[in-house]
A and B are shown apart, each in its own frame.
Chain A
Amino acid sequence: MEKILKLHQEFLASPEQVEKNLEVCHKNLLKIKDTNSTLCDLYELAKIQVRLITKKELEKNPLAGCVYTLKDNISTRDIITTGGSRFLNNYTPTFNAKVYDDLLIANAVCLAKANLDEFGLGGTGTFSAYGVVKNFYNKDCIAGGSSSGCANLVAAEAVNFAIGTDTGDSVRKPATFTGIVGFKPSYGLISRYGVFPYSPSLDHVGIMTKHVEDAVVVFENIIKTDYRDFTTQTLKYPISLQNFVAFDKKQPIALFANLIDFLEPQEKLSFKNTVTFLKENGFVINEIEFPNDLLSAIDLTYKIISYSEATSCYANITGITFGEKQTGNNYDELLFNNRTFGFGDQLKRRFVIGAYATSKEHSKDLLVKSQKIRHMIVAAAAEVFKNYQAIIFPGASSVAPLIKDVEDNNYHTNICDDALVIANLGGFPSISIPTGRVNHLPVGINLMCDAKQDQKLLELAIAIEKEVKYE
């Protein structure tokens, strides 16, 4: 029984434990204040909420009384939601995101809004208008991004779970860098209503926890078709931990052998040891080759598609109807001043590339070509799923890099990291789980299944987590 279900038992046996859990979480949150993980501390509000939770409500839902954080690109009515941007410094949504509403109904307790790369556009946690997020394990290193604050808060046990968003690997990569579980379900299973967009054809809401079973319990509560998000999808089966069965280890898992040489030496050794260990414990893992030209194409394909979609999404932020407003002698000047002041450098860079890729002259060669290659990558992955139940990847090509290296542009990702994006391109469910440490920093593996095979993926992750026994 993992953290959330254990807490649930404790709450039922002794309801005063709800307040105690909140207190402990908040103490842990304050302990990591210098990591810059939190944008808004909601402790006072949370204290009121836990006092109002009845025993009946505790019995009704295992999430009742559990403490969590929301990435600050998720709308919370009457609570400032900045998206990590200077533009929305004082923006207060007038409605709740569906995922927040569902968690309110479950009587889960939101303790904080978590820091992120501005509007989720960044993979390092160094592009928030409110400062760089430092890794909980080593403050000289990044926590990964863009769900950086969420990852640290879960790792530090300042919350029992976190809700983040994942467009490329933004839940799973920071999860690996901070030694926790990061789960991105199939496309559309969690409503994105009220979630700030980055790239709508790639955006997912994801869950971050200490253990896989905890992610399942949270998932059960927020997987819902939503009439306000017309892209939400429905599974043919209900997700419930009670319906889960033990993963049949004889079902083959594929490993893309051509990725392994892109791992840093010690990380490579750790990954190989994990795979060997799993094989020794009965898992069938076969090395196969994924087409090299497609692996090499993932990075640019992702960039062109996501930057193009982002450029379009953020055309509505003018600073006039909402957001920070500067001064200007006329409408054009006002817009220029608002958008020049409000957007960070990383956003502007991505928007310029997106605008170029969507321009009349270049869209065929860049955007349409990328969308075609996306189709080929997804089709190649679907081919793999004809013979394999799942694919296993390294969680990242290296442990969390130094902040200095990221800022000096000395940190480079490679196709080993890019491979996680396949899950976004094809809407495949994907989960990263910790397996150990290299140089005192966490390392992990990632697992991916065919679209809507979320239960199978989670059953596999539970089975592997039990074998690896990482703490």
Chain B
Amino acid sequence: MKITKLEIKQLEEALYFRVSEKQLDELEKEFIEISNKMDQLKSIDTDNIIPMIFPLVDFCNVLREDVIEVSDSDEVLSNSKDRFGRYVVVE
């Protein structure tokens, strides 16, 4: 696993932000560290192990009726910097 600055820049594009040149250098180094550590982890035999995506084994979801709760739209929209009436202005 090796990552180039170009690949990091592609990830930035996908994430919709830019990082500084200094950060780019640091990220490149960090990816090398991750890669080295990941190589060590490869030695751990995970065949037939189920990926754990939730911490509890006896987990059960708390379900509820789908009841409509009315919000004050003016209040909800108040956090938008740019509004036109009851609409949010994108650009």
Contact = CB atoms under 8 A, between A and B. Distances in A.
A427 B59 CA distance: 11
B68 interface: no
B62 A369 contact: no
Nearest to A352: B11
Nearest to B24: A352
B44 A233 contact: no
A352 B19 CA distance: 10
Interface string B24-62: 001100110010011011111010011111111101111
Given A187-B55, A365-B38, A321 B80 contact: yes
Nearest to B45: A376
B61 A231 contact: yes
Given A94-B75, A300-B37, A376-B44, A368 B51 contact: yes
Interface string B58-88: 0111111000000110011011111000001
A237 interface: no
Contacts of A343: 17
Interface residues of A, number: 72
A91 interface: yes
Given A94-B71, A94-B72, A231 B62 contact: yes
A233 B59 contact: yes
Contacts of A325: 81-82
Contacts of A230: 61-64
Contacts of B17: 336, 339-340, 343, 348, 351
A339 B59 CA distance: 36
Contacts of B78: 92, 94
A361 to B, nearest CB: 10
Interface string A333-350: 011100110010100110
Contact of B62 (A202, A225, A299, A323): A225
Given A226-B62, A373-B44, A451-B56, A92 B79 contact: yes
Contacts of A138: none
Contact of A227 (B42, B53, B64, B76): B64
Contact of A371 (B3, B26, B52, B81): B52
B1 interface: yes
A323 B50 CA distance: 39
Nearest to B37: A300
Contact of A372 (B26, B40, B51): B51
A373 B79 contact: no
Given A300-B37, A373-B44, A330 B55 contact: no
Contact of A353 (B34, B72, B79): B34
Contact of B55 (A323, A324, A352, A425): A425
28 contacts: A92-B79, A94-B79, A187-B55, A202-B55, A225-B62, A228-B64, A230-B61, A231-B59, A232-B62, A233-B60, A293-B44, A300-B34, A300-B38, A311-B15, A320-B88, A339-B16, A343-B17, A348-B15, A349-B26, A351-B15, A355-B11, A355-B14, A356-B11, A366-B38, A368-B51, A370-B41, A375-B50, A375-B52
Given A201-B53, A319-B81, 10 more contacts: A201-B54, A296-B40, A301-B41, A321-B80, A334-B91, A335-B16, A349-B19, A372-B52, A375-B49, A426-B55
Top 6 nearest A-B pairs (CB, nearest first) are A427-B55, A371-B51, A375-B52, A322-B79, A372-B46, A325-B81
